[in-house]
Structure 1
Amino acid sequence: MIRPLFVALRLWFLLIAFVMAFVVAWVFPLLLPLVQITFGVFLLLVGIDGWLLFRPTPGKQTAFFARRDVPDRLSNGDENPLTIYLENQYPFRTDVEVIDEIPFQFQRRDVLFRDRLSAHETKAIRYELRPTRRGEYSFGAVNVFVMTPLGFLKRRYQFEVGKLVAVYPSFLQMRQYELLAATNRLSEAGIKRIRRVGHSMEFEQLRPYATGDDVRTINWRATARRTDEQGTALVVNAFQDERSQPVYCLIDKGRPMQSPFDGLTLLDYAINASLVLSNVALYKQDRAGVLTFSSQIGQFVPADRRAGQIGRILDVLYRQKTRFQESDYETLYASIKTHIRQRSLLLLFTNFETVNGLRRQLPYLRRLAKDHLLLVIFFENTALRTLIDQPAQDTEQVYQKTIAEKFAFEKKQIVRELQQYGIQTILTAPQNLTANTINRYLELKARGAI
């Protein structure tokens, strides 16, 4: 009974006040009886407070109940909702303090909630957590400190002691894009509407002409056979995007991908974007696959569109870790040459900081581009961009801006060098990676380049 008992701040203040009152009564003895009576009443109230907190509740195992509702897995880089349910079984109003022991990876010590519950009332406390690393997270207990209206003592209740939760790549973002795609609202996530300059040769059906259709798709023979009350009704050939095209996300796990941005590493941004893109590719009836590499080849998921493919990709991406070594593009080329025989769209998530760093790997990228449609995706240094945009105040800042502009120019030079050899490129800020990658995939698909 002693371990769950805690003293409220109000009790300490009153004890200090009584000490001062007894000191004053020592100076003025006439006040001593009044102070003693008041102190006796105070002790009686403290006893009543303790009895109210610890008295047995008829028909209930405990007078207060709490439960943490946390998903079995969290989405990396996203705000994940959590809920703590509180149920007051006391026959009087209670003030509560709730301390949730969240995993140490969050490095937060401020998960404290205060609330007031009426007798037999139930409440829900909702908050969000944003993990920035994949792996297992261990939640501790939900500590609830309950006080009666007197507020002298607290009784601690502990619930939900120990719970392991896995943090997976951003499946919440994946579901968001999937929902927007299903409702034709991808533009809300920054996905552009692609203007088709042509169409694939895969015929789907005949349908009536609608405003905006390409007049070159009018089927004159079908039009001649179909008339309505007002005359001839135009009929057009409807084409569909080519399907079952292999789409592979190649994820570099080398040293440059460990660079952090907004709590996440570049590797995690690449993993989240790969998961979303793979899901969009499957939604577009293409085959999605993944290959990870660094100094050696990591995991390989062959491109497929069978049921459960996105689950297999998710499980593989969950286990990826950065290897603090230089990536071996020669081994990557040899592996792709062996395992990927059909012409495919290869989206290479990597990061080149200098032109010399690119040129060391350029021969292998050119070979890949001969056999496949290669799209190299690498990252802007947003910290340098912020430094460049700020006006210089002194000579030191002028030097810093000059160096920052040099590195930013090298990034643009890398883009030009890749494009010189017909290699598709995306230079993007990490926060725009997913939208920019999907935009380019849809553009290439609309052009029939895959």
Structure 2
Amino acid sequence: MRPAPLLLALLLAWAVLGGMVLGGLLPRWSWALAGALIAVLALVDLWRQRRRPSPSVERDVPEALALGVRREIGLRLHSEQNMHVHVFDLVPGGWPLESLPQRVPLRAGHVSSLHYHVQPQQRGRFAFEGVQLRIRSPWRLWWQQRTLPPALEVRVYPNFVPLTRFALFSADQASRLVGAHVKRRRGEGTDFHQMREYRIGDSLRQLDWKATARARKLISREYQDEKNQQLLLMLDSGRRMLASEGGLSHFDHALNASLVVAYLALRQGDAAGLFAVGGERRWVAPQRGMGTVQHLLRASYDLQPQAVATDYLAAATEVSLRQRRRALVMLVSNVRDEDIEDLLAAVRLLQRRHLVCVASLRERELDAALEGEVHTVEDAAQAGAAALYLQQRAQAHDALRAERVMVLDVTADALPAALVERYLAVKREGLL
């Protein structure tokens, strides 16, 4: 309970009255009477405020919050008495807020609504602890702070907003939205799709001579990319993915990119799965159907990178035991030269059954260090260290390529397009 401005003004007036009494302008009893009157008013108003019922509060929160996406939240307040309140919702995690706190006049028997915006800054499970109200007393002499229910637990998922946008487009169009450059196919797909009339440009191998004889016109077979193939995304959740760019960790960038390529694979009729290695392990077996996106989101929304070394060989062994059918395995990590022996052993094990692609995230600051101008000895040392690091990194990538592993050396912002391009290239070239 805190004094309101009106009570502070009354106390100031009482102090001025005391000065006048000391100056002999007023009798002493007037100062005592004024003090007693102010005290009675304050105590009665305090008593009334403590007996005053709290408003009821309801919170409207979207069913799913996405990392970094600004969303609107609503509050509805119902009071049995007229009152003025200042409202502040106890959002979790220090997330950025807009339009809070708000001053709301409540009318007896009516519902007052307010809205504000919040932008989640982390994935995982969080709680709204309640709604904090500052309520002015009936005679406006006091402010009382109350924390009211409902407390509410919410889940913040990876940024799935791009996936909802892709749903409006075909798989090829969505691939271009990501930034992937879809190359034209050489030859045909491997799965028969349909018979159709011959078109200029069709190869002679497409002609179906029996159908041509029956129809008395040229008939071609049309093929499509093979469906029901397997895609497994292996995400490194160890210490290599703790670096941050653009307000997100490398792991968050990798997770968002993996969801994009998984979504497009499901749109193509393939099965997509996820395996997080390094820190806490999560396994989602490859499944078909667009409902798989929900399984991937629920399995990964609270997954965080941890400061532990990733055992690539143990992860590859687990994949070999769990994933018996041949699949395109896309490992997203940050390859360092000191990890290369363990990583080479892991990819050799995976290649016994699977097609392996390693996407190695590169810090954008390394490129900036090489491209920046050198003015001081410190600048030269920094550029030299970056060049040496990138050289060792390139050697590790070359060692992987020597084992016939597809390697993508990309920055975090280019990762979604790179993964989609590689997946589509594997599909179109029939490598699986």
Which of residues 367, 373, 377 in structure 1 aligns to 2:359?
377
Residues 143-292 of structure 1 mapped to structure 2, 5 A cutoff: 143-147=132-136, 152-181=141-170, 184-185=173-174, 187-206=176-195, 215-216=202-203, 238-262=222-246, 264-292=248-276
Structure 1 distance, partners of 2:35, 2:179, is 68
Does structure 1 residue 69 correspond to structure 2 residue 60? yes
Q: Residue in 2 aligned with 1:122?
A: 112
Contact (CA 8 Å) 2:87, 2:104: kept in 1 or not?
Answer: no
CA drift of 1:396 comes to 1.8
Which of residues 396, 400, 405 in structure 2 aligns to 1:423?
405
Q: Residue in 2 aligned with 1:7?
A: 3
> CA 1:363 to 1:51, structure 2 compared with 1: closer, same or farther past 3 Å?
closer
Structure 1 distance, partners of 2:172, 2:138, is 52
> CA 1:99 to 1:359, structure 2 compared with 1: closer, same or farther past 3 Å?
same
> Over residues 1-36 of structure 1, what are the superposed CA-to-partner deviations in whole Å (9 max), with x where a residue is unaligned?
xxxx5433x246525642552355246554789999
Q: Residue in 2 aligned with 1:25?
A: 20
Range with greater deviation from structure 2 (432-441 or 394-403): 432-441
Q: Residue in 2 aligned with 1:59?
A: none
Aligned length: 427
Q: Residue in 2 aligned with 1:433?
A: 415
What are the ranges of 5 or more consecutive residues in structure 2 without an aligned counterpart?
Answer: none
Range with greater deviation from structure 2 (45-54 or 263-272): 45-54
Q: Residue in 2 aligned with 1:330?
A: 313
Which of residues 83, 106, 109 in structure 1 aligns to 2:73?
83
CA drift of 1:305 comes to 1.6
- Percent identity reads 23
Does structure 1 residue 97 correspond to structure 2 residue 86? yes
Residues 341-420 of structure 1 mapped to structure 2, 5 A cutoff: 341-354=324-337, 356-369=338-351, 371-420=353-402
CA drift of 1:437 comes to 1.8
> CA 1:140 to 1:325, structure 2 compared with 1: closer, same or farther past 3 Å?
closer
Which of residues 290, 296, 300 in structure 2 aligns to 1:317?
300
Structure 1 distance, partners of 2:27, 2:391, is 84
CA drift of 1:242 comes to 1.2
Structure 2 distance, partners of 1:256, 1:63, is 50
CA drift of 1:132 comes to 1.9
> CA 1:311 to 1:133, structure 2 compared with 1: closer, same or farther past 3 Å?
closer
SS of 2:101's partner is strand
Structure 2 distance, partners of 1:208, 1:159, is 71
Structure 1 distance, partners of 2:246, 2:400, is 28
SS of 1:441's partner is helix
Does structure 1 residue 449 correspond to structure 2 residue 431? yes
How large is the Cα RMSD of the aligned pairs? Answer: 4.5
> CA 1:157 to 1:189, structure 2 compared with 1: closer, same or farther past 3 Å?
farther
Contact (CA 8 Å) 1:83, 1:127: kept in 2 or not?
Answer: yes
The residue type equivalent to 1:101 in the other structure is L
> CA 1:15 to 1:341, structure 2 compared with 1: closer, same or farther past 3 Å?
same
TM-score, normalization by structure 2: 0.77
